[in-house]
Chain A
Amino acid sequence: MHISSRVKSVPASGIRKFFDIVSQMEDVISLGVGEPDFVTPWRIREACIYSLEKGYTTYTSNYGLLELREALSAYIEDKYGVRYDPKNQILITVGVSEAVDLALRAILEPGEEVIIPEPCFVAYQPCVVFAGGVPVSVSTGPETGFAPKPEQIDRAVTPKTRAIMLSFPSNPTGAIMPRDDLQALVDIAKAHDLYIISDEIYDKLIYGVEHTCVASLDGAYERTIYLNGFSKAFAMTGWRIGYAASNPEVIEAMMKIHQYIIMCAPITAQMAAIEALKNGEGDTAEMLRQYDRRRRLIVASLNKMGLDCLDPKGAFYAFPCIKSTSLSSDEFSERLLYEEKVAVVPGNVFGKCGEGYIRCSYATNLQNIQQAMERMARFVQKISR
C-alpha cells in the first residue's frame, strides 16, 4: 500500500537500532536514557491521585486548565520577567514534542526553511519535514562549546527562511548559548523577520550559570515561540505535559491544530503539573544537586580515560569526543555494548556533526556511573593498544 513520500523521506531514528540490541541483552548499564532516573516526586503523584478521587476526569479547555495557565504565567514572569497572558498566550500541550509540531505547522508554508543548529534533539528535523518545511542544518563543534555563532546562522538565512529552531541547554551536548550571542541571533531574526522557536525544556537543569530565556531578550518577545514542559525538571516524562507561550496570533493558530488533533492534554496530568509548579521547586533542587555530583564525576572520568569532554552546563548529558580511538560513533557504541555491556548513544544520530562523539546520560545513579566508567575506561584502553 502507498505510504506518503514525505514520511518515507524521513529515516527511522538511529536510536531504535541500539534499543533493539540492548533490550535483548542482560546486565547492561545504560547511559542511553534521555529521561530522569527519579520517579516523579511523591507530592506531585499524590496530588494527581487526589484529583482522580475527586473525579477530575473530563476534557479541559483546548488551551488547558486556566489554573495551570495562570500558574505558568506567574511563574514565567517571576523567573524571566516575561509576561504572557494566561487567557490567550499560553497553550498546554502533550509534551513539548507536540508543541514543536504545532509551532512548525502553525507558521510554515510548503518549502520554507527552518535553520537548526546541530547536534540537536532527534525530533526537530523530522517535524520540519512533516510540516512541509525544509530543515537547514548548521554544524557546531567543541571550539564554540557546541553553540552556533550568530554569523553562522546569518549565512544560513535565505529568502525562504521562516524560523530558527533553538534548544539550549542542549540535548545531547549540555551546551548553553552565551547571552551576547543569543542577543545577536535575535537581532538577525529581527533583520530578516524570522520566528525563533526556543525549546527550553532543560532550563531548570543548569549548573553554576544562569539560563537566558530567549523571549526575555531585546526584540525577541514578539517573534519567539517559547516552549517548555514538566518532563525533565520535575521527572514527569511519562505525564506528557508541555506548553507553548507566544503572541496571541501564533497561540491561536497552534490551538486550532491542537483542538482538532488532540482536543486537550489529559486533565490528570495537568492537575499534577499544577502541584509541580506550586510546590515542586524543592524536589527539583534536590535532583539538581544529585545531577551535579554525577556530572562532575562522569566528566572527570571521561577526560581521565582520554576521551575529551567539555563541561556540560545544563541538561544531564556528557558528549565526549571519541576520535582518538579511530572508531566511528556507531562502531564505538556497538563494540562498547557488546564487549563491556555499557549502552551509550552514538553522536551522529543528533546530526552529521555529532559523528566522532557519543552521548552519555548521567540520569542514572552514582554506582551505575562509576561502574560504567570503569568498563568504558577498560574498553578505551583495550582499543588504543
Chain B
Amino acid sequence: MEEILRILEEDCRLSAEEIASMTGKSPDEVKATIEEYERKGIIRRYKTVIDWEKLGEEPVIAFIDVRVSPERGVGFDDVAERIYRFPEVRAVYLVSGPHDLRVQVSGKSMKEVAFFVAEKLATIDRVQSTNTHFLLKRYKEDGVIFEAPEGDRRLAITP
C-alpha cells in the first residue's frame, strides 16, 4: 500500500498503531508491510530534515557540475561510482544540459570542499571540467520550507 509510504515520508516516527488507525488496517498488517518495504529496499532509510543553521553549525555544502567524457560500454557510470564512493559526497545525479554529473559535497569549511574538488574530483580521468557553486541559504529542502510556520489564522469556531 503506497498510502503507508506517503504517511511515513511525512513523519517516519508514527507508530504502527497510529498508521493502522489512519489507513484502516491492523497494526500487524502495517508492521509486516513496512518490514517488507525495508527488506526490498523500497524504504532506503529513515532520515531527519535538520535546520543546521539554527544551531550555528551548518556544514559547508557545494553543488559541483562536472563534465565527463563518456566511455563506450560504461557511459558515465564508472566515473559516477568513483565519485559517489567518497564520504564527502552526499549526492550524485546524471543530468541533462551542458554538464553531465551534478555532485553535492559537504565539508567543514569552504577550503576543505575546494581542496576536495581540486584534488579528488578534478583529477579523475575523463573529468573535463568542474564548476563549483557554494550553497548560501536554504529556503526549502525535501519539501520542507525553512521558515517559521505561520500560525492558524482561522476563527476557533465556525459553522
Verify B156–A297 contact, CB threshold 8 A.
no
Q: How far is the CA of A19 from the CA of B158 in the complex (A)?
A: 8
Residue B49 at the chain A interface, CB threshold 8 Å = no
Verify A32–B18 contact, CB threshold 8 A.
no
Verify B7–A293 contact, CB threshold 8 A.
yes
| Given A13-B159, A121-B159, A289-B6: A35 touches B154 (CB 8 Å cut-off) | yes
Which stretch of A22-30, A51-59, A133-141, A246-254 is in the interface? Answer: A22-30
Verify B21–A343 contact, CB threshold 8 A.
no
Residue A326 at the chain B interface, CB threshold 8 Å = no
| Given A293-B7, A297-B18: A35 touches B158 (CB 8 Å cut-off) | yes
B interface residues, tally (CB under 8 Å): 17
Q: How far is the CA of A345 from the CA of B159 in the complex (A)?
A: 9
Instruction: Report chain A residues within 8 Å CB of B3.
Output: 289, 293
Verify B21–A34 contact, CB threshold 8 A.
no
Verify B156–A296 contact, CB threshold 8 A.
no
Residue numbers of B with Cβ under 8 A of A are 3, 6-7, 11, 18, 21-24, 150, 152, 154-159
Verify B157–A18 contact, CB threshold 8 A.
yes
Q: Can you identify 19 A-B contacts, CB atoms within 8 angstroms?
A: A15-B158, A18-B157, A19-B155, A23-B156, A30-B157, A32-B157, A34-B159, A35-B154, A121-B159, A122-B159, A293-B22, A296-B22, A296-B23, A296-B24, A297-B18, A297-B21, A343-B156, A366-B11, A370-B18
Verify B156–A32 contact, CB threshold 8 A.
yes
| Given A37-B152, A289-B6, A293-B7: A345 touches B157 (CB 8 Å cut-off) | yes
Say how far A209's CB is from chain B's closest CB, in angstroms: 14
Residue A123 at the chain B interface, CB threshold 8 Å = yes
Say how far A31's CB is from chain B's closest CB, in angstroms: 9
Q: How far is the CA of A345 from the CA of B6 in the complex (A)?
A: 31
- Per CB-CB distance, the 4 closest pairs between chain A and chain B, nearest first, are A32-B157, A293-B22, A22-B156, A19-B157
- For B7, the closest partner residue in chain A by CB is A293
- For B19, the closest partner residue in chain A by CB is A293
| Given A293-B23, A370-B18: A33 touches B6 (CB 8 Å cut-off) | no
Given A15-B159, A33-B155, A123-B159, 8 extra CB contacts under 8 A: A18-B157, A23-B156, A30-B156, A32-B158, A33-B158, A37-B152, A37-B154, A293-B23
Instruction: Report chain A residues within 8 Å CB of B156.
Output: 19, 22-23, 28, 30, 32-33, 343
Q: How far is the CA of A297 from the CA of B3 in the complex (A)?
A: 14
Residue A106 at the chain B interface, CB threshold 8 Å = no
Instruction: Report chain A residues within 8 Å CB of B22.
Output: 293-294, 296-297, 366
Instruction: Report chain A residues within 8 Å CB of B159.
Output: 13, 15, 34, 121-123, 171, 345, 349
Q: How far is the CA of A39 from the CA of B149 in the complex (A)?
A: 12
Residue A301 at the chain B interface, CB threshold 8 Å = yes
Q: How far is the CA of A296 from the CA of B18 in the complex (A)?
A: 10
Verify A301–B21 contact, CB threshold 8 A.
yes
Most chain B CB neighbours (cut-off 10 Å) among A30, A293, A300, A343: A293
Contact residues, A35-60 vs B (CB, 8 A)? 35, 37, 39
Say how far B13's CB is from chain A's closest CB, in angstroms: 11
Most chain A CB neighbours (cut-off 10 Å) among B11, B23, B150, B157: B157
- For B150, the closest partner residue in chain A by CB is A39
Say how far A169's CB is from chain B's closest CB, in angstroms: 15
Say how far A282's CB is from chain B's closest CB, in angstroms: 14
Instruction: Report chain B residues within 8 Å CB of A22.
Output: 156-157
Q: How far is the CA of A349 from the CA of B155 in the complex (A)?
A: 18
Say how far B112's CB is from chain A's closest CB, in angstroms: 37
Instruction: Report chain A residues within 8 Å CB of B11.
Output: 366
Q: How far is the CA of A300 from the CA of B25 in the complex (A)?
A: 11
Say how far A164's CB is from chain B's closest CB, in angstroms: 21
| Given A289-B6, A297-B18, A370-B18: A33 touches B157 (CB 8 Å cut-off) | yes
Most chain A CB neighbours (cut-off 10 Å) among B18, B23, B159: B159
Say how far B139's CB is from chain A's closest CB, in angstroms: 14
